[in-house]
Amino acid sequence: MSETIFSKIIKREIPASILYEDDLALAFRDVNPQAPVHFLVIPKKPIVKLSEATIEDQALLGHLLLVASKVAAQEGLTDFRLVTNNGVAAGQSVFHLHIHVLGDRTFTWPPG
């Protein structure tokens, strides 16, 4: 996997408003928020996109969802939306797996 803005944030080469960090994951505010609360949860392990995750990543993927929920609670959210784009046509622009957590507004369905 080539270097991405997210790998540079993990290495602290680019600043970010970090909300949570542990050995496996990092959560930080989105620089282009689409909701009053909008942050990203990323694995520290470089996975390009969800479809490239393997069975060995199963626990990590679950951990990312738990981190998303924990940070959402820290941010005062009880209702929130999770979005993971997989590929260019789905809107993925940074090729390092990430979960968008959006909240503090009403969302419509279908989303796109």
Q: Which residues contact 102 (CB under 8 A, 6 or more apart)?
A: 34, 35, 37, 38, 80, 81, 83
Catalytic positions are 98
Q: Which residues contact 108 (CB under 8 A, 6 or more apart)?
A: none
Helix (H, G, I), strand (E, B) or coil at 106: coil
Tokens linked to 43: 């694995």
